[in-house]
Structure 1
């Protein structure tokens, strides 16, 4: 799936995640993640984002994520929404 434009999903409220996805000239996913729980759950959040992009067949994109303690299903929903908005 191609990312054609910049799209956003989510908020900066507690227990949510703000996702911004942008087209990339290069192959692959560039992920910039900030989280209030980075030390405890940073790798898990990164894994959920990357797996969701893989399921949606996104092969190249720049993703910026600001997490405020979101659970996995919220992260997945926000990534899916941003990707669909970016088509």
Structure 2
């Protein structure tokens, strides 16, 4: 799966995050977080694992985190990637 167009999901409210995706060669992840010192590695791991589950091969992923839980990070990344990939036939079982 590749990101075909710019897309986003989420908000900049407290305890949420905004995920932006754009076309790119390869995968690049940029994380801006209020809690980066404490949880930056965990945020990166959740994003990377979610992208691997979705079989994403190309895309720029920009995360603006405001203290979101792992489940919110996963859901927002999934939503933004599916919007940006313009997939017509998604395997919904991957979204568990």
Provide the TM-score with structure 1 as the length reference.
0.94
Q: Note the aligned Cα RMSD (angstroms).
A: 0.7
Unpaired runs of at least 5, structure 1: none
The CA deviation at 1:60 is 1.2
The CA deviation at 1:68 is 0.2
Q: 2:28 corresponds to which residue?
A: 30
Rg larger in structure: 2
Provide the TM-score with structure 2 as the length reference.
0.86
Unpaired runs of at least 5, structure 2: 87-96
Q: Which runs of 4+ in 1 moved over 2 A?
A: none
What secondary structure does 1:80 align onto?
Answer: helix
Cα deviation code 1:21-69 (max 9, x no counterpart):
0111x22x11110101000000000110011011000011101110000
